[in-house]
Structure 1
Amino acid sequence: MIQNNLEFTEEEKRLRDEIEKKHGKTPEELYEEREKRVRDAIELREPDRVPVSLRFVHFPAYYVGIKNSTAYYDPVTWRKAVMKTIIDFEPDIYMDSSGRSSGVVNDILQPTQTRWPGGPLPDDSSNQAIDVETMKADEYDLFLSDPTDFTLRYILPRAYGILEPLAHLPKLTDVMMGFGMLTAILSRKEYRELGKKIIQAGEAQEKFSNAVGNLEEATAKLGFPPNSHMGGVGGAPFDMISDFYRGMRGAMMDMFRCPDKLIAACEMLLEWRIQRATPADPNKPGNPKRLFIALHRGAEGFMSNKQFERFYWPTFKKALLKNIELGYVPMPFCEGAYGDRLEYFLELPKGTTVAHFDLTDMFRAKEILKDHVCIMGNVPSPLLQVGTPEDVDEYCKKLIHVCGKGGGLILTNGSSIDLAKPENIKAMIDAPKKYHPN
Structure 2
Amino acid sequence: MGKSPEEIYNERAKRIQDATQLKIPDRIPISIEDEGVFVSHGGFTWADVMYDVEKAKAAAKKIFLDLDQDTHALPFILCPAQIYDILDYRQMKWPGAKLESNRLDNPNNVYQFMEPDAGFEAMHPDEYDRFINDPTDYMIRGFWPKVSKTLEPLKNLPAMWHINSYTRLPLLAPFGSPEIANALEALIEAGKEAIKFNQALTEYVLEMVNLGFPPRNLAGCSEPFDFIGDYMRGTIGRMLDMYRHPEKLKEAVEKVTPMIMEQVLAQAEAKLKLLNDAMPQGRHLKHVAMYLHGGAGGFMSNEQYKEFYWPTLRSLLMGIIDAGFTPYMFSEGVYDDRLEIIKDLPKGKVVWHIESDVFKAKEILGDTCCIEGGPPASIMNAGTPDDVKAYAKKVIDVCGKGGGFIMGVAHSLLTAKYENVKALVDYTKEYGVYQ
TM-score normalised over the length of structure 1: 0.90
Q: State the distance in 2 between where 1:379 and 1:95 align.
A: 19
Report the 3-state secondary structure (helix = DSSP H, G, I; strand = E; otherwise coil) of the residue aligned with 1:426. Answer: helix
State which of 378, 384, 405 in structure 1 corresponds to 2:401. Answer: 405
Mapped pair 1:290 → 2:303: no
The 8 Å contact of residues 105 and 201 in structure 1, kept in 2 or not, is answered as yes
Q: State the distance in 1 between where 2:259 and 2:415 align.
A: 38
> Shift in Å at residue 422 of structure 1?
1.3
Name the CA shift for 1:37/1:276 in 2 (closer, same or farther; >3 Å): closer
The 8 Å contact of residues 385 and 419 in structure 1, kept in 2 or not, is answered as yes
The 8 Å contact of residues 5 and 212 in structure 2, kept in 1 or not, is answered as yes
The 8 Å contact of residues 355 and 376 in structure 1, kept in 2 or not, is answered as yes
Name the CA shift for 1:151/1:235 in 2 (closer, same or farther; >3 Å): closer
Q: State the distance in 1 between where 2:359 and 2:201 align.
A: 39
The 8 Å contact of residues 383 and 391 in structure 1, kept in 2 or not, is answered as yes
The 8 Å contact of residues 373 and 407 in structure 2, kept in 1 or not, is answered as yes
The residue aligned with 1:43 is 21
Q: State the distance in 2 between where 1:326 and 1:235 align.
A: 18
Q: State the distance in 1 between where 2:256 and 2:197 align.
A: 30
> Shift in Å at residue 61 of structure 1?
1.5
The residue aligned with 1:316 is 313
The residue aligned with 2:86 is 108
The residue aligned with 2:300 is 303
> Shift in Å at residue 160 of structure 1?
1.5
Report the 3-state secondary structure (helix = DSSP H, G, I; strand = E; otherwise coil) of the residue aligned with 1:333. Answer: strand
The 8 Å contact of residues 39 and 287 in structure 1, kept in 2 or not, is answered as no
Aligned letter for 2:393? K
Report the 3-state secondary structure (helix = DSSP H, G, I; strand = E; otherwise coil) of the residue aligned with 1:61. Answer: helix
Mapped pair 1:267 → 2:254: yes
Task: Output one character per residue of 1:203-261: Cα deviation in whole Å (capped at 9) or x when no partner.
Answer: 22323334444222111101111111116xx3521111111111110000000001011
The 8 Å contact of residues 334 and 358 in structure 1, kept in 2 or not, is answered as yes
Name the CA shift for 1:275/1:76 in 2 (closer, same or farther; >3 Å): closer
State which of 138, 148, 154 in structure 2 corresponds to 1:160. Answer: 148
Q: State the distance in 2 between where 1:88 and 1:291 align.
A: 25
Q: State the distance in 1 between where 2:354 and 2:363 align.
A: 14
Mapped pair 1:249 → 2:236: yes
The residue aligned with 1:364 is 360
Mapped pair 1:129 → 2:113: yes
Structure 1 residues 32-431: aligned runs within 5 Å: 32-119=10-97, 120-121=103-104, 122-132=106-116, 133-176=121-164, 178-230=167-219, 234-278=221-265, 280-281=268-269, 282-285=272-275, 287-359=284-356, 361-431=357-427
Q: State the distance in 2 between where 1:277 and 1:90 align.
A: 29
> Shift in Å at residue 170 of structure 1?
3.1
TM-score normalised over the length of structure 2: 0.90
Task: Output one character per residue of 1:18-53: Cα deviation in whole Å (capped at 9) or x when no partner.
Answer: xx8xxx322112111111111110011111110111
Q: State the distance in 2 between where 1:228 and 1:210 align.
A: 18
Aligned letter for 1:406? G
Q: State the distance in 2 between where 1:165 and 1:138 align.
A: 21
Q: State the distance in 1 between where 2:323 and 2:202 align.
A: 27
Task: Output one character per residue of 1:141-191: Cα deviation in whole Å (capped at 9) or x when no partner.
Answer: 222223232222111111211110011223334444635424422211111
> Shift in Å at residue 328 of structure 1?
1.1
% of aligned pairs identical?
38
Name the CA shift for 1:100/1:143 in 2 (closer, same or farther; >3 Å): closer
Q: State the distance in 2 between where 1:38 and 1:146 align.
A: 41
Aligned letter for 1:142? R
Aligned letter for 2:365? L
Please, what is the CA RMSD of the aligned residues? 1.9
The 8 Å contact of residues 122 and 233 in structure 2, kept in 1 or not, is answered as yes
> Shift in Å at residue 139 of structure 1?
1.4
- How many matched pairs? 413
Task: Output one character per residue of 1:247-301: Cα deviation in whole Å (capped at 9) or x when no partner.
Answer: 1100000000010111000100112223445365353446330111100011111
Q: State the distance in 1 between where 2:155 and 2:197 align.
A: 29
Task: Output one character per residue of 1:82-118: Cα deviation in whole Å (capped at 9) or x when no partner.
Answer: 1111111111113335244111111001221122222
Aligned letter for 1:397? K
The 8 Å contact of residues 331 and 353 in structure 1, kept in 2 or not, is answered as yes
Q: State the distance in 2 between where 1:277 and 1:370 align.
A: 27
Q: State the distance in 2 between where 1:421 and 1:337 align.
A: 24
